[in-house]
Each structure stands twice: as C-alpha cells, then as structure tokens.
Chain A
C-alpha cells in the first residue's frame, strides 16, 4: 500500500513541478469551448441545447492529450523496468498511475466545467448535471486511456495511435454522459437511467483498465 501511495504522490509532484500536465488540458478545454460559440453564432437557445455536448467533447479531447506520455516517460528513463521488479502487482501500479493522472488532469477539467458552462448559456441545473456526469465519466476516460498508454510503451512514438485506439472505446461514455446531461436540461427524459449506465461504465473501466494495461505492458516486455 505504501508503494502505491508513494507512486501517486510522486506522479502528482511531477505533474505539478514539471508544469503543463494539468494546465495544458484545461487550456485546451477552454480553447475548444470558447471557440465553439464563435463558430456556431450567437444563438443562445442553440448554445444552451448543445452546450453539454460541447463540454463533453472538449473534456474528452483534453483528457486524450497527455495520455500517451503516461507510461512512456517511465519507460524512457528506466523507471518502468524497476517498477516491474518491485513487489507490487503491475495492475495496481497501473491503477495508481491512473488515479494520479486523473487527479492531475481529469479533476481540473471537472472543476473548470462550471466556469466554461457560463460561456455556453447553461442554466444552473444543467451546469450541475454536466459537472456531475463529468465527475463520474472522466475517470472512465482516464482508465480506458491507460490501456492505450500502456500500448504506446511497446509501439514507441505511438502518441497519435493512442488517441485513435482510445477514441472508439470512449464513445459509449460520451453517449451516456451527454444523454444524462441532456435529460437534465430538456426534462421529460429520466436522468437516472443514462447516469447509472455511465456509473457502471466508469466502475467497469476502473477494474478492467488497469488489468488490460498491465497485460499490455507485460506483453510488450523486451
């Protein structure tokens, strides 16, 4: 357990000190959301209706940004070799790295979402729904991304490929995240059903992501 805590603390320290990490993601998120009203035009009703979708797409793309370096950095400086000789199962190591990555890059997106919602003319209820779905959904994006990040270790320079591999797998999360948010905006449709499916997807990926990532790293041993 101390090994995992040490790993999370170290990765968070690195994310804060090296700079970038968290803020690059938030800046990218900001850029996507700010540009959107200019592209669509000053139709407040339209913005309000598609606002949750814009926020979700922004968050999805922003969370893909830093993923490919997640394991590759540790591989390049030899840290990954030593983590393999450590007495902690590789799956838990992957999970700890995923957690640290989510705290450093996913959580800032969730925190930035309410502010960016104002730019899209969302109402308080809709803002709440989007933030809640992002809070539940971004861990899923990170932990599915873990698998791609682990594959990037083997592929070398596989940065772009990671995004291509991960994007299709994150579509279900996007669908249920947006439909839950829309249900809260438009009313009528129940919020609970898509939201619980989103929670289920998230919980599933928390378990499967690290296992698959561990297997990918082991398979790529050389």
Chain B
C-alpha cells in the first residue's frame, strides 16, 4: 500500500474568463478522508476541482500533495470525474475502458472485467457506448477510477444520473478507496453517505 498522502491547498485564487471565481481558499485533507465542496451554483466548486486536476491554472496560491510522487503533478496523481464522461460512442464499453487503462498510465488497479462487474456493467462489455443510458455512461466513467490506481479522486457531482442502487455502489467504492488511504474531493449538492469534511465556497461575495 502506498504511503498515506495529504493534499494541501494554500490561499488558492481562481480566475476564469477574467472574473474572480474564489479567493484565498485554503484546505488540507489527510489520507482516508473526504472533502466535500459545497456552495451555491457558480461558487467555484467545479473550478476548484479543475484547478486541483491541473486543468485550470491558479491565479495565486499553492497546491501540494504531500507524500505523493514528487516527479508528477497533482493532476497526474488524480482521477478527474467531471460532468463529461469522456466516452466515445462508437467504441464498445470494453474498448473505452481499455483505452483509459493504457492512456492514463500509472499503477494498475482492477482488471477491466472486474471493474466492469464492480459497476454492474459486466454484461454490456461488448455494447457500443452510444446505446448506454446516462446512468450507465456515468458508471462506465466510474470504472475508469478502478482500473488505474491514483491516490486522489476528484468527483464533480458524482451521483448525477445514478439510481439509488448505483449510488450505494458508488459510496462503497469511495469507502474502499478511503480505507486504502486514498483521498476524495467531491463537489456536491446532496449530503454524501459517508463521513466528510466540508469546505464551503461562498459564491458571489467577491463580485
């Protein structure tokens, strides 16, 4: 098991499209813990996740993953599950997942078939992704987090489109990840069904 990590953000400021989204946000998250980002629409929950993933550059502040691999950026040690599922409709479920196993790189986790079973898509492996429902697409995107091991999970509204049973499975997967010393940062409007720390983003106070 890799050594426990700690994610520390200090006085992060984010600007997008010339507008300040949030300013001086600081947090620290220990291995095995979940950080829930809460706040109204437009408060910058998704922006903060994208910033941690390295998809948006911080206007100020520092972000470090202590105990991680110093040669890699934080984003390269994180799984980013955004609003978009990053699936190619013309490829089958198995091909989509195989591609991410090869493309993401890093320590391998579960095998493809095990991961698909875990998100209850095992029987649909040969189906082109275009025929999946929104919830099934979401579950296939989740399977990506299982096939490649990365310590930090960044989840943007992870329960979107998932039915109750699937949400239960999602929280089981998150709990297993946390038990192995992983970290989870999730933007959410609903309370998560597990213990978490809360980071409240204020929203329109800066404008």
- Enumerate chain A interface residues (CB-CB to B < 8 A): 2-3, 5-7, 10, 13-14, 17-18, 76-79, 81-88, 221-222
CB distance from A13 to the nearest CB of B (A): 6
A86–B80 touching, CB < 8 Å: no
Could you tell me the distance between the alpha carbons of A180 and B56 in the complex, rounded to whole angstroms?
46
Please determine whether A81 and B88 come into contact, CB atoms closer than 8 angstroms. no
The 23 sampled A-B contact pairs (Cβ below 8 Å) are A2-B102, A3-B105, A6-B98, A6-B103, A7-B99, A10-B95, A17-B91, A76-B84, A77-B88, A78-B82, A78-B86, A79-B86, A81-B82, A82-B144, A84-B54, A84-B55, A85-B54, A85-B79, A85-B80, A86-B76, A87-B105, A221-B56, A222-B16
In this complex, the member of B17, B76, B83, B106 whose beta carbon has the largest number of chain A beta carbons within 10 angstroms is: B76
Which 4 pairs of residues, A with B, have the shortest CB-CB distance? A78-B84, A6-B102, A87-B105, A78-B86
Given contacts A78-B84, A81-B86, 18 further A-B pairs with CB under 8 A are A3-B103, A6-B98, A10-B91, A13-B95, A77-B86, A78-B82, A78-B83, A79-B86, A81-B50, A81-B53, A82-B80, A85-B53, A85-B54, A85-B75, A86-B103, A87-B104, A221-B56, A221-B57
Tell me which residues across on chain A come within 8 A of B100, comparing CB atoms. 82
Report the interface size class on chain B.
20 to 34
Closest Cβ of chain A: how far from B101's Cβ, in Å?
8
Flag whether B204 is at the interface (Cβ < 8 A): no
Question: In the complex the two chains form, what is the Cα distance from A79 to B75 in whole Å?
Answer: 15
Q: Which of A14, A83, A85 contacts B88 (CB 8 A)?
A: A14
Q: A221 to B105, alpha carbons, bound, how many Å?
A: 22
Of the candidates A7, A13, A82, which one forms a contact with B86 in the assembled complex, judged by CB atoms under 8 Å apart?
A82
B72 proximal to A (CB < 8 A): yes
Q: With A5-B102, A87-B105 as given contacts, are A10 and B88 in contact (CB-CB < 8 Å)?
A: yes
Is the Cβ of A88 less than 8 Å from the Cβ of B103? yes
Tell me which residues across on chain A come within 8 A of B53, comparing CB atoms.
81, 84-85
The CA-CA distance from A83 to B88 in the complex, in Å, is: 14
Whether A84 contacts B103 by the Cβ 8 Å rule is: no
For chain B residues 65-93, which have a beta carbon within 8 Å of chain A? 72, 75-76, 78-80, 82-88, 90-91
Check A77/B55 contact, CB under 8 A, given A82-B100, A85-B75.
Answer: no
Tell whether A10 pairs with B104 under 8 Å between CB atoms, given A77-B84, A222-B56.
no
Residues from chain A with Cβ under 8 Å of B99 in the complex: 6-7, 10
Classify the interface of chain A: helix, strand, loop or mixed: helix
* Number of residue pairs A-B, CB distance < 8 angstroms: 82
Given the known interface contacts A2-B102, A3-B103, A88-B103, the answer about A79 and B55 at a Cβ–Cβ threshold of 8 Å is no
The answer to whether A85 touches B56, judged by C-beta atoms less than 8 angstroms apart, is: no
A84–B16 touching, CB < 8 Å? no
Q: How far is the CA of A140 from the CA of B85 in the complex (A)?
A: 33
What 0/1 pattern do residues 22 to 66 of B give for CB contact below 8 A with A? 000000000000000000000000000010011111000000000
Chain A residues with CB below 8 A from B72, complex form: 87
B50 — nearest CB in chain A belongs to which residue? Answer: A81
Q: Is B82 in contact with A88, judged by CB distance below 8 angstroms?
A: no
Residue numbers in B under 8 Å from A78 (CB-CB):
82-86
A47 to chain B, nearest CB (A): 41
- Residues 138-170 of chain B, each 1 if its beta carbon lies under 8 Å from chain A, else 0: 000000100000000000000000000000000
- Write out the residue numbers on chain A whose beta carbons fall within 8 Å of the beta carbon of B17: 222
Instruction: Please name all residues of chain B whose beta carbon is closer than 8 Å to the beta carbon of A76 when the two chains form the complex.
Output: 84
Residue of A nearest to B144 (CB): A82
Cα of A76 to Cα of B144 in the assembled complex, Å: 19
Task: Report the bound CA distance from A196 to B91 in whole Å.
Answer: 41
Contact, CB under 8 Å: B90 / A13: yes
Residues of chain B with a CB closer than 8 A to A3's CB: 102-105
Most-contacted residue by chain A among B17, B50, B87, B105 (CB, 10 A): B105
B106 touches A87 (CB 8 A): yes
Residues in A whose Cβ lies below 8 Å from that of B16? 222
